[in-house]
Chains A and B, each alone.
Chain A
Amino acid sequence: MIRARPLFIWLARIAVAAVFLGACIAKIRDPEAFALATHRYRLLPGELVNAVAILLPWLELTCGVALLAGPRRARAAAAFLLAGMLLVFTGAISLNLLRGIEASCGCFTTRADAAVSDGWNLLRNGALIWLSAMIFLNAWRAPARSKTS
């Protein structure tokens, strides 16, 4: 019989990895457009916008691959980093909404006709943060469990 928790963690890893692997494609393909999307948050100093646009998609890719195919320690680190990134993204989108900036989140596409950010983005990020936290805790607690068993 398949145990529910390992199956849930497996599905969570696949779901979160798929989201981030899907999200990085458009950003890697068009770094200039992603830099503009990053700039539209108006949170970073201008000097850092391009560096973030160059590096962030590759961090998403690296963490996505580690989450899907990495050993336990790599999965824990990837889930930790992804949860951290999601918290930052969620804060940035919330600020945009509060300031009335009609920008798209730049999450999955850098096209100009992407949908404008709304509460749905926050809900989705909340779910992803929860899944990432579950994956992290599962990987983090594994050695403790093995020592006590």
Chain B
Amino acid sequence: MNPAGSRLPLRQAAQLALDSTILLAIAGLLGGLVNTLRPEATRLPWVSDWDRHIETLAFRAGIPVTFLQGARQRVGDVATAILDARSADEYAAGHLPRALSLPVAEADRRILDYAHRLTPDTPILVYCGGADCDDALELAKRLREFGFRDLTLYPGGLAEWRDYGGDVLAGAPP
């Protein structure tokens, strides 16, 4: 046994722990300082209420979520029904290509309008105005109660779709 040899890794491990802590401290100081000095509009609070974020609510409700790439894919897939949960007026002002209007407040009555197009296994993408609206999630939950099984929420909604150059169609629902 070589006591000097066994001491070296221990000393090195202690040095590694110390050096790692120093790097962590530098990063922490820089991160905290820059965040504090940012303009208020871009400053991130140290704690936000993510538990009430629409994606968390969807996750808890068991409604799968997709993002821009997934939404683009589904809009391009004619087998998927795209449902706009906003009011008919908002739909008329602009909506995703192929989207059908199904305002959440009128879902119980209006769903019959689409009975010939939708089966319980039809893949359905629901959306509303953007991440700060919950109409699409509420519609998805209602549709699940009606027996639809393949539901996906697009929380980015029309706002994100438009921001990233997606086609937006205007016109009243048929």
Q: Spell out A's residues near B (CB within 8 Å).
A: 28, 30-32, 35, 39-40, 42, 46-47, 49-51, 53-55, 57-59, 61-63, 66, 73-74, 76-78, 80-81, 100-104, 111-116, 140, 143-144, 147
Contact = CB atoms under 8 A, between A and B. Distances in A.
Contacts of A31: 35, 42, 44
Contact of A78 (B23, B45, B53): B23
A107 to B, nearest CB: 15
B24 A59 contact: yes
Contacts, number: 113
Contact of B156 (A30, A39, A49, A112): A112
A115 B72 CA distance: 12
Interface of B is mostly: helix
B34 A39 contact: no
A70 to B, nearest CB: 9
Contacts of B22: 77
Interface stretch (B11-19, B102-110, B113-121, B136-144): B11-19
A56 B112 CA distance: 50
A143 B42 contact: no
A32 B69 contact: no
Given A31-B42, A35-B44, A63-B23, A112 B68 contact: yes
Contacts of B42: 30-32
A39 B28 CA distance: 20
Contacts of B27: 55, 58-59, 61-63
Contact of A102 (B48, B51, B67): B67
B68 A46 contact: no
Contacts of A30: 42
Interface of B: 8, 12, 15-16, 19-20, 22-24, 26-28, 30-32, 34-35, 42, 44-51, 53, 55-56, 59, 64-70, 156, 160, 163-164
Given A39-B53, A42-B59, A50 B20 contact: no
A50 B48 contact: yes
A61 B30 contact: yes
Given A46-B56, A116-B69, A59 B19 contact: no
B23 A113 contact: no
Contact of B30 (A58, A74, A103): A58
A122 B15 CA distance: 31
A113 B71 CA distance: 10
A77 B31 contact: no
A42 B20 CA distance: 27
Given A59-B24, A102-B69, A46 B48 contact: yes
